[in-house]
Amino acid sequence: MNYDSVKKQDPEVFAALEGEEKREAEGVELIPSENYVSRAVREANGSCLTNKYAEGYPGKRYYGGQEFTDAVEVLAIERAKKLFNCAYANVQPHAGAPANIATYFALMEPGDTLMGMDLSHGGHLTHGHPVTYITKIFNFIRYKMKDIETGEIDYDEMLKVAKANKPKVIMAGFSAYPRELNYAKFVEIGREVGAIVIADIAHIAGLIAGKAAKNPFDFGFDIMLTTTHKTLRGPRGGMILTRESEELAKKIDKMVFPGFQGGPIMNNIAGKAVAFGEAQHPNFKVYAAQIIKNAKAMAEVFKAHNIRLITGGTDNHLVLADVYGSLGISGKDAETLLDRVGMTLNKNMIADDPRKPMDPSGIRFGSPAITTRGFMEKESARVAELMVDAMKNKSDEKKLAGIREEIRTLCKRFPIPESFV
């Protein structure tokens, strides 16, 4: 991108932008929740629509001058509905967490119960972790894996707990779970206890849109919550999708605005519209399928080096590895080390981790961003080899310098693309 005006007006901010451009260009991004967007998305996200207040919804705004904001938001809505095969879409949430919380407020009263995946077994903070304020308002119960080595959810226990607690909402979704959920089981349990069944697809929205992963709506889910970045490769933001219930969709719309948020970020919604258009292109299906192939290739390298993988492998875009138990390096130290040599990922707790959240046993890494750069299985496997090599030789500065140089060379071969269509 051209930052000439920023460079002239604010050299300090320009230095940070220039530094980030260089960091992204010369290193591999392995954080599963991060990706690169196209130049078209960046231009829309930095457009003149940043000037416009548009409180309300298309055709029902509180201010005038909405001809073009309405056009952009309608485009985003219609494209989202087509991508995910649903009747209603709210594209206004500023991020994933606000989308989740607004939905809770729309569907539940204080004191009502929601069942979600335990954070230590792959769930998300907004699904009921005690550190979040939302747990002071609603009652959260959790389900876990029955077998950490395979990733199988204990659906029998889940049904037992649901019958005993009668949750108003059952949430299927995760932030660090490498397998595909049994959506039919969630719906079966939800129907038996009279719960609304929601899927948080923030991590796998792009895989679903690209037909590389199952769509929970096909199994009867009522609502899907998602971010619009990650595998979907759009700007950072949130979205709420309703399969067919107009009643639920109206409750959600009313809670997003005016219940929970103020005016929508229209330049961001323009970026969403562009990204959803890109996801309708045939190339996106190829990309989504390749994400999974690349993640599997990386997992196989770790397994070949006898590094324990939570759930034994992956069915999606991410891998969760117990590096402390396998290599004697903590997740925090691994994150710092690998960042030094140009491979960015995140420390992560593993199931029933004996270590603390800020210095856990595991690392979480994935393939969305490297796949966007054009990496195939061969390059993905090589990155995994370099990760293992660095962790095994963490004190060998000469070895680490060589790894850093190889990463730079690989990145030059696969520059970040500006267009995906």
**Which residue numbers are catalytic?**
53, 55, 200, 227, 230, 236
Which three-class secondary structure state does DSSP give residue 131?
Answer: coil
For helices 282-304 and 377-392, what crossing angle results, to 10°?
Answer: 30
- In the numeric block, which tokens belong to residue 138? 């609603």
CA dist list (Å): 238 to 92, 119, 141, 232, 272: 7, 20, 24, 11, 9
- In the numeric block, which tokens belong to residue 67? 């001809």
- In the numeric block, which tokens belong to residue 315? 């069915």
Q: How far apart are CA 183 and CA 172, in angstroms?
A: 8
Residue 29 zone, left/alpha/beta (φ > 0; ψ -120 to 50; rest) = beta
Residues in contact with 59: Cβ distance below 8 Å, sequence separation at least 6, in sequence order: 70
Q: Please state, as a whole number, how many other Cβ atoms lie within 10 Å of the Cβ of residue 262.
A: 10
Residues in contact with 158: Cβ distance below 8 Å, sequence separation at least 6, in sequence order: 115, 143, 185, 189
| Length, in residues, of the chain | 421
| Closest to 102 in 3D by CA, of 260, 228, 242 | 260
| Closest to 222 in 3D by CA, of 254, 259, 247 | 247
CB 177 within 8 A of CB 295: no
Residues in contact with 233: Cβ distance below 8 Å, sequence separation at least 6, in sequence order: 35, 36, 37, 38, 41, 206, 275, 278, 279, 368, 372, 420
Residues in contact with 396: Cβ distance below 8 Å, sequence separation at least 6, in sequence order: none
Positive or negative, the Cα torsion across 190, 193, 196, 202? Answer: negative
